[in-house]
Amino acid sequence: MSLGTLYGLIAIGYTMVYGILRLINFAHADVMMMSTYFAFFGISMFALPWWVAAIIAMILTALLGIMIDQGAYRPLRRAPRISALITAIGVSFLLENLGLVIFGSRPRAFFRPEIFRPVWQFGEIHVLSLSVYTICITAVLLVFVYIIIYRTRIGMAMRAISRDMQTVPLMGVDLNRVIAFTFGMGSALAAAGGILWAMKYPQIEPLMGIFPGLKAFVAAVLGGIGNVFGAVIGGFILGVTEILLVAFFPEFSGYRDALAFLLLILVLLFRPTGIMGEVLPE
Amino acid sequence: MTPKTRDRWLTYLSVLVLLGILVLAQEYADEYQVRILNMVAIYITLAVSYNLINGVTGQFSLEPNAFVALGAYTASLLTLTPLEKGMSFIIDPCIWPLSVISIPFLPAVIIGGLVAAFFGFLMGFPVFRVRGDYLAIVTLGFGEVIRVVANNLQSVTNGPLGLKGIALYTNLWWSWGLALVTLFVINRLVKSSYGRALKAIRENELAAESMGINAFRHKLLAFTMSAFFEGMAGALLAHLITTISPMLFTFFMTFNLLIIITIGGLGSITGSVLAAIAFAWGSELLRAVEEPINILGLYTIPGIPGMRMVIFSIILIVVMIFARKGFMGRREFTWQWLFDRMHRKGIGL
C-alpha cells in the first residue's frame, strides 16, 4: 500500500508536466534521485534533523526542477515534441551520470528516523510504522495539491493552460511562470516521494531513480495522464498488484519489474486514456 | 555514360576501396584498431536500422536494446557447444533442445535476426496502436521486459551470470559485410515506393492513410525490418565480445544509438553512418578525460570515470536545442552533390 502511494507521489510530477506541456519528463525520476542525495548530505554533512533536511531537500529539488525546465525545455517550447522528448532523455542521462561522477556508484545507507522504526501490530498483521506514516504524509500532501490546483489563482492558470496553451497567455497569464511553478511543485512532490522511498529501502545510489520513475510513469498513464488524482489511484493499483504478485506467486517475484509494463500495454490497448482520463476525440 | 550508370560505378568503386582498406587493416592494424573498426561497423548497422523506424518512419521508439539482446542470445545459444553450455549453466541446466544443438555461425546469425524480427512483428501489434510519447514508453518498457526475462529465465539465458566462452567468430568481413548489406537493403527500401509511404506516414499519418497507405502495415514492416538487422548485429556483437549478460543490454545501449541518429540527423542514412563512425571513434578518444590529466607537470587532475557519458549527454542536449536537425538533417550523400560541389569550386570533370 505504501509502495503504491509512493508511486502515486512521483506520478503526480509526471502527470502535471504532461498535462501542461505534453512532455514526458524523463528526468523526473532522476530529479527524485537527486533529492535523496540532498537529504542524505543534509543529514550526514550538516547534521540537520531529518525533517529539516527533508524540507530543504524538497526546496532544492524544486529549484532543480525549475532549472532543468528553464535550461533544457524552455528553448524547445515551439519545437516538435519529439525534440523535447529526446532532450528529456538527455537530461535524464546527464543527471544519472553526474550522480555517478559526483556521488560515486557505491550505494549509501540512508537514515531511517527513530519514529519510523517501530513495527506496529494490528491483530495478525505487522506493519512498519513508516508505511503508515507514508500514507498519512501522502494524504496531507494531496490535500495541499488539491488546494493549490483548485483553490488558487496559479492553480486555475495551470488548469487553463492544460486546456488551451495558445489562448491562455493572451489573457495575461505568464506562461513561463506557471510552467516553472508546475515543475517546482512536481519536483518537490517527487522529492517527498524519493525521501520516503529512501527510508523504505534504506539505501541510495545514482541509478535508483530509473525503476521507480518508469513505474510511476506507468501509474500516471494507468490513472489517465494529466489527471492528478488519477495518478494517485494508478500508483495505488500498481503498488498493490505488484505486492500481490510477489505475495501469491513468489516464484515470479523476479518478474515484478516487468509487470508494470504488461499493465501499461494492456491499459493502452483497451483504454488508452486511463482509468480517470476523459475520452478525447482525436 | 548517363549519370545513373556513372553513380552506380562510383558506388561499386568506393565499396572496392573500402574492401581494400579492410584487407590492409586485417594485415597491418593491431588488435585494438581492428576491434574499433568492428565496433564501427556494428554501430553503423544498428544506427541505420534504428533510423529506419525512428527517422524515416517517424515512429519514436526506444527498443533496439531488446532486439540486440534477442539476436545476441539466440545466436550465442546456437553456436555454443553442448560442452560449454554444460559448464556455463551452473544453477539450472540448459533446457533440452538448446542443450544439444550447436550450429555454424552464419545460420546462427540469420536465425538470431529472424527471432528478433519475429518478436518485432509480434510486438508491433500492440505497440503501433499507440502514437508519439506513448509509443516511446511502451517500447522502452518492452526493452526492459526483455532484460528482466533474460535475468530470470535461468534455464535458457543462464540468468544474471550470462553466457561465457562464445567463440570469437566476428571479424572485419562479417561486421562490414553485414553493415554493407544493411546499407544496401535499407537504402533500396527507402528509395522504393515503400520508403515513400514510410516518409508520408512520418509527415502526416492521417493524410497518408487517406492516400490509401495502410499506415499500420507499413509501420509493422519497418519495425520488423529494423528488428531483423538489429538482431543480426546483436549476434555479431555477441561473437565479438564473447561474453554476454543481461546488464549489457540496458537502456544505455539504446541511448547511445539515439545519440548517434539524432546527431547524424533523424531520417538520413548518410548522417547515421557518419555519426556512428564519429561516435565509435569519439568514445575511444574521450577515454582521455577519464584518465588522470597532468597540466604542465604541476597539477594532476585525477581521472573521473563516467565523465564520458556526462559529455555525451551534454552533446545530445546541446544538439537538440541548437541544431535540432542534426548533422545531415534529412539530406543524403549523392555523387551528384559531390560533382556539383566540384564544379562550383572550378574542378572540372
Dihedral sign from CA coordinates of A85, A91, A92, A93: positive
Of A83, A85, A265, the CB nearest to B138: A265
- Picking from A17-26, A232-241, B212-221, B287-296, which range would have the lowest pLDDT averaged per residue? B287-296
Helix (H, G, I), strand (E, B) or coil at A167: coil
CATH number for the domain harbouring residue B37? 1.10.3470
Question: How far apart are the C-alpha atoms of A259 and B34, rounded to whole Å?
Answer: 42
* Residue whose C-alpha cell reads 530529479 in the numeric block: A31
Query: Of A53, A59, A34, A84, which Cα lies nearest the Cα of A205?
Result: A34
Residue B269 lies in a domain: no
Residue B297 pLDDT = 56
CA distance B266 to A261: 27
> How many residues comprise chain A?
282
Residue with the three cell numbers 516487468: A258
A255 touches chain B (CB under 8 A): yes
Bridge-based pairing of strands A119-122 and A125-128 is: antiparallel
Report d(CA B103, CA A64) in Å as an integer: 54
B280 assigned to some structural domain: no
Cα gap B69→B257, rounded to integer Å: 14
Residue A46 has what DSSP assignment? S
CB neighbours (10 Å) of residue A244?
A: 11
Cβ within 8 Å, pair B251-A210:
yes
Residue A188 has pLDDT above 80, yes or no: yes
Residues in B closer than 8 angstroms to A262, CB to CB, are 145
**Cβ neighbour number for residue A223 with a 10 Å cutoff:** 29
pLDDT at position A50 over 50 = yes
Predicted pLDDT at B301: 58
Residue A109, phi then psi, degrees to nearest 5: -75, 135
Which SS3 state, helix, strand or coil, does residue B276 take?
helix
Q: How many domains would you assign to chain B?
A: 1
Cell of B81: 557447444
End-to-end Cα spacing for chain A: 35
For residue B86, give the nearest of B70, B106, B102, B72 by alpha carbon: B102
Which three cell numbers, joined as nine digits, stand for A249?
A: 506467486
DSSP conformation class of B302: P
Q: Which residues neighbour B128 within 8 Å (Cβ) at sequence distance 6 or greater?
A: B59, B135, B216, B219, B220, B223
Query: In the prediction, which pLDDT does B320 show?
Result: 80
CB B45 within 8 A of CB B229: yes
Cross-chain residue pair A214–B140, CB shorter than 8 Å: yes
Residue in A97, A269, A272 nearest the CB of B310: A97
Residue at B202 is within a domain: yes
Signed CA dihedral, A248, A249, A250, A253: sign only: negative
Bridge partner list, A121:
A126
Phi, psi (degrees; rounded to nearest 5) at A108: -115, 150
Residue B30 lies inside a defined structural domain of this protein: yes
Q: Is B140 on the interface with A (CB under 8 A)?
A: yes
Residues of B in contact with A257 (CB under 8 A): 144, 148
pLDDT at position A193 over 50:
yes
- When CB atoms are compared, the residue of A75, A93, A258 closest to B321 is A75
Q: Is B18:B346 a contact under the CB 8 Å cutoff?
A: no
Cell of B220: 509493422
Residue in B with minimal Cα distance to A268: B130
Half-sphere exposure of residue B28: CA atoms within 13 angstroms, side-chain side:
6
Amino acid at B68: V
d(CA A223, CA A274): 5
Whether the CB of A258 is below 8 Å from some CB of chain B: the reply is yes
A-proximal residues of B, 240-269, CB under 8 Å = 251, 255, 258, 262, 266
- Judged by average pLDDT, the poorest of A226-235, A261-270, B114-123 is A261-270
How many C-beta neighbours within 10 Å does residue A245 have?
15
Partner-chain contact B144 A261, CB within 8 Å = yes
Residue B278's CB is within 10 A of a number of other CB atoms, namely 17
What is the least distance, in Å, from the CA of B244 to any CA of chain A? 20
pLDDT of B290 reads 67
Residues in contact with A264: Cβ distance below 8 Å, sequence separation at least 6, in sequence order:
A218, A221, A222, B137, B138, B141
B316 interfacial to chain A (CB closer than 8 Å): yes
Domain presence at residue B320? no
Query: Measured between CA atoms, how close is B107 to chain A, in angstroms?
Result: 31
Tell me the C-alpha distance between B169 and B79, whole Å: 10
Helices (H) and strands (E) in chain B, counts: 16, 2
A218·B141 Cβ contact <8 A: yes
What is the spatial distance between Cα B347 and Cα B349, in angstroms, rounded to a whole number?
7
**Do A268 and B134 count as a contact with CB atoms less than 8 A apart?**
yes
Q: What is the DSSP string of B154-213?
A: HHHH-GGG-B--------HHHHHHHHHHHHHHHHHHHHSHHHHHHHHHHH-HHHHHHTT-
B10 touches chain A (CB under 8 A): no
Left (φ > 0), alpha (ψ -120 to 50) or beta: where does B148 sit?
alpha
**Residues from chain A contacting residue B266 (CB–CB below 8 Å):** 82
Residue A253 touches chain B, beta carbons under 8 Å: no
Question: What crossing angle do the helices spanning A175-200 and A50-68 adopt, rounded to 10°?
Answer: 140
Q: Is B343 part of a structural domain of the chain? A: no
In angstroms, the CA A223 to CA B195 distance is 38
CB contact under 8 A, A260 and B141: yes
Looking at residue B231, its pLDDT comes to 93
Asked if A265 and B314 come within 8 Å (Cβ–Cβ), the reply is no
CA B343 from chain centre, in angstroms, equals 36
Q: Which residues of chain B have pLDDT under 70?
A: 1, 86-88, 90-100, 289-306, 346-349
Q: What number of residues does chain B have?
A: 349
A128: pLDDT strictly greater than 80: no
pLDDT band for position A226 (50/70/90)?
confident
Of A87, A105, A269, the CB nearest to B129: A269
**DSSP H/E element including B295:** strand B293-295
Range(s) of the domain holding residue B9:
3-250
Give the integer Cα–Cα distance in Å for A138 and A74: 30
Q: Which residues of A touch B142 (CB under 8 A)?
A: 261
Residue B183 C-beta-side C-alpha neighbours within 13 Å? 22
> In the numeric block, which cell numbers belong to residue B253?
545501449
Q: Over range A260-265, report the average pLDDT.
A: 79
B301/A contact by beta carbon, under 8 A: no
pLDDT beyond 80 at A250:
no
pLDDT mean over A154-164: 81
Chain A CB contacts of B132 below 8 Å:
81-82
DSSP character string of A104-126: -SS-EEPP--GGG-PEEEETTEE
Nearest CB neighbour to B317, from listed A81, A90, A269: A90
Distance CA B105, CA B285 (A): 32
Q: Decide: B205 and B215 in contact? Cβ < 8 Å.
A: yes
End-to-end CA, chain B:
13
Vertex B328: Cα angle to B326 and B331 (nearest 5)? 135
Contact state of A89 with B255 under an 8 Å Cβ cutoff? yes
